[in-house]
């Protein structure tokens, strides 16, 4: 099950909830104030930045054998 991030519109607290995909759009109770006035946030994905200016190359194959430096 994925972890979704929510924010309370009443107190501003940001919290996470482990939910099924079918529950992702349901309102969640704020653990701080107990309010129901919450909304789901768009979470950032931890991914490398490929700006092209660093000289790093990205290989399309899985067997590149490269180590992390």
Q: What is the pTM of this model?
A: 0.58
CA 39/CA 20 separation, integer angstroms: 16
3-state secondary structure of 63: coil
User: Does the structure show a pLDDT above 90 at 62?
Assistant: no
Q: Which two tokens stand for residue 64?
A: 């590149």
Task: Answer for the pair 57, 50: CB distance below 8 angstroms, yes or no.
Answer: no
Higher pLDDT, 20 or 68: 20
User: Does the structure show a pLDDT above 90 at 64?
Assistant: no
CA 28/CA 66 separation, integer angstroms: 43
């Amino acid at each position: 099950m994925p972890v979704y991030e929510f924010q309370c519109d009443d107190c501003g607290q940001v919290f996470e909830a482990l939910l099924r995909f079918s529950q992702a759009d349901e309102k969640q109770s704020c653990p701080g104030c107990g309010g129901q006035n919450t909304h789901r946030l768009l979470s950032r994905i931890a991914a490398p930045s490929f700006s092209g200016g660093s000289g790093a190359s990205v290989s399309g194959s899985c067997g590149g054998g490269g180590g992390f430096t």
